[in-house]
Amino acid sequence: MKEETYPFVMRCLPYETYALAPCISAETQLYHHDRLYKGYVDRLNGALANYPALHGLSLRELLKWPENLPEAIRTAVVRNGGGVYNHQLYFDSMQPFCMEQDPKGVLLEAIIRDFGSLRDFRELIKETAEGQFASGYGWLVLDADGTMKIMATANQDVPDLKRYIPLLNVDVWEHAYYLQYQNRRVDYLNAWFRLINWRKVACRYEEAYAEVEEKRLLRGEGDLPTVFEGEASVEDSWLSEAEETEFFFVP
C-alpha cells in the first residue's frame, strides 16, 4: 500500500472521542487530537508547500533522512512531521479498555525473549516513559538487529528511523495528561497501559520483523534470534488483583 504524501490529512480517531474514558477523558482527547495534532498537520503542510520536490515523499521518508531536507525548512519538517507521525501512532495504538486484551502469539513470545516477562516489559516501558525529562515519548521499537528495544525521545523527535521501526509509543507531554492527572505522569502511564491495542502492535511487529529479516538476509547476516518454541502463556498477568480492582477508580 502506498504511504500518504503531501498534503497530509488529519486522521480521524479510530474510536469515539469519549471511548477511552475514564483512562483518558473526552476533554483531553478533543484538545489533544483536534487542536494539537491538527496544528502539527497544518504546519507540516505549510512548511512543505513551496517544495514540490518533496511532495512525493511519505512522512517516514521525510523523517528518515532529515539531512537531505532543504536547510530552510529542515527544523520545521522535523518538528512538525515528528508531531504528525508521533501523534498518529499514539492515537492509533489505543482502544477502549477491555479485560480480555493482552499480547498473544509471536508478539508475546518476542516480549518474553527480549524483556524476560510481560511484567518486566510493562515496568520498563513505564519507567522509561516516566523518566523522560520534560516533554517527549516512550517507545517500543524493533531494532535492525531483530530485537525489540524500549527508549525515550525528547520533544517531537522520532527514534532514528534508519535503525529502528516504531511499534508503539506513548505521549508524555503534559498536554496528554495534565487536565486529568495534573503532574501524576505515572498514574496516566498506568491508565494508558490498559488501553494498548495489542492486535495492532502485533501486526506492526510482524511486518517490521519481516522487513528487518529480509534486509539481514540480503546482507548475508544469517538468521535473526529465534523465538521460543511452544506456547507462550499469559499466566504472568499484567495486573495484580489489587491493581485490577483499583483500576476502576482511576479518575
Contacts with Mn ion by CB under 5 A lie at 171, 173
> Which residue is nearest to Mn ion, using beta carbons?
171
Nearest to 146 by CA among 113, 118, 168, 186: 113
> Which residue number, 147 or 155, has a Cβ lying nearer to Mn ion?
155
Distance (Å, whole) CA 143 – CA 148? 6
Smallest separation (angstroms) from Mn ion to the CB of 175: 6
Smallest separation (angstroms) from Mn ion to the CB of 44: 14
> Which residue number, 156 or 190, has a Cβ lying nearer to Mn ion?
156
Cell numbers standing for residue 101:
486484551
Judge contact between 115 and 121, C-beta under 8 A.
yes
Smallest separation (angstroms) from Mn ion to the CB of 25: 15
Nearest to 91 by CA among 34, 138, 33, 36: 33
139: β partners: 151, 169
> Which residue number, 173 or 192, has a Cβ lying nearer to Mn ion?
173
| Terminal alpha carbon distance of the chain | 40
> Which residue number, 24 or 77, has a Cβ lying nearer to Mn ion?
24
> Which residue number, 87 or 204, has a Cβ lying nearer to Mn ion?
87
Distance (Å, whole) CA 181 – CA 185? 7
- Work out the number of other CB atoms within 10 angstroms of the CB of residue 148: 22
Smallest separation (angstroms) from Mn ion to the CB of 85: 12
Distance (Å, whole) CA 123 – CA 100? 20
> Which residue number, 91 or 121, has a Cβ lying nearer to Mn ion?
91
Cell numbers standing for residue 241:
488483583
Q: Which amino acid is at 129?
A: A
Smallest separation (angstroms) from Mn ion to the CB of 4: 19
> Which residue number, 103 or 166, has a Cβ lying nearer to Mn ion?
166
Q: Which residues contact 185 (CB under 8 A, 6 or more apart)?
A: 129, 130, 172, 177
Smallest separation (angstroms) from Mn ion to the CB of 191: 16
Taking CA atoms, 40 is separated from 60, 93, 247, in Å, by: 15, 19, 33
Smallest separation (angstroms) from Mn ion to the CB of 37: 7
